[in-house]
Amino acid sequence: MAPKVEIYLWTTCPFCIRAKRLLDSKGVEYTEYVLDGDEAGRDAMAIRAGGRRSVPQIFVDDRHLGGCDDIHALDRAGELDAILQGP
């Protein structure tokens, strides 16, 4: 079963675009939460992300992976594919 992947983002954020591009290159389906002007949504994201308010924030099966740099680091370390494949 494919994991549930979620990304909180702003539509024009270059880091968000870069993170989505990486997920797309992996063939991953994900749910986007667009936070453009949505402070309540950003507050909800920050609660899930341990206080982090920057975008993007990426979650896999409710596990917080972090932002753009974090998922690229996981990819370079060879760990992202296993996380995205699920259990």
pLDDT at 1: 78
pLDDT at 24: 98
pTM beyond 0.85: the answer is yes
Domains identified in the chain and CATH numbers:
5-85 (3.40.30.10)
- What phi, psi does 33 have (nearest 5°)? -115, 105
| CB-CB neighbours of 65 under 10 Å | 22
84 CB contacts (<8 Å, ≥6 apart)? 3, 5, 23, 26, 28, 60
Average confidence (pLDDT) per 10 residues, the chain, 87 residues: 94 98 97 96 97 97 97 98 88
39 half-sphere exposure, CB direction, 13 A CA radius = 0
